[in-house]
Structure 1
Amino acid sequence: YSFSGLKTSFLYTLRDNLKDNQNFIQENLNDLAASLQKAIIDILFSKLRRAIKETGVKNIALSGGVAANSGLRTRLTELSQKNNLNVFLPEKAYTTDNAAMIGMLAYYHYLEGRFENIEVVPQARMAVGEF
């Protein structure tokens, strides 16, 4: 999903308000950040609710750096309680860097005896289940 429309709208809002007040961003920084976060979370949850309805999924996991976002965590917890979903959230200590998740993947590979040679080509992205 692309947030390009939202980004453009936000940029126009900033541009238009800066014409009248050069300190607009500094004076409204907290409100701007909270409003943008809410808009993004609303979009994500609209799509998530539709996916839940269409697939009947009952398990949802949140990972990566975005899992540290308290607004996202709160909304996901609320959604899970209202819809009887299982939500898996990492401890916040493990959400700031992908290294912990990559380390866990390496650990499971080790347990399975799966090793790579020195010529392995790193992959920036993997499909679910590809590991």
Structure 2
Amino acid sequence: SKPAVVFLDFDRTLATTKSGASPLVGSHAVDPDLAAVCAEHRNVRIVTRSSRKEDIEAFLAAKDVPVLGVHSLRRDGRRSKAEVIAEELGALGGAHGLFVDDDIRELTEPGLAGLVEEGRLQRLLFVRAGGKE
């Protein structure tokens, strides 16, 4: 069954940006497959360590990539992506979600273990096609 919510990392996952750089500077692209997921799924949330929330929102709007929200850990005073994911899934009751990130450390964060064990969170390690950027 389709996940109730999809959590997407931004830098080097949905977009070609790196290390919290603004997506509005330079020529950045979105991954076409993940952009298609955003278009098809009504509850996609960006979970990022970048503080450039407004730039990310403007960039995605310009690229016609609809998302329900951009969660900036730095801006929201969050310690981890796991914290945001647990809270959002908690608000959806018994629903399950999908978390896509290019960093294995984010996907294996201890705060996610309970959700994974309960079968409420699937994780996907994203590897950009082509490799070199």
Give the structure, 1 or 2, with the largest relative contact order (CA under 8 Å, sep 6 or more). 2
Q: Do both share a fold (TM > 0.5)?
A: no
Please state which structure has a larger fraction of its residues in strand: 2
Q: Larger Rg: 1 or 2?
A: 1
TM-score after normalising by structure 2: 0.35
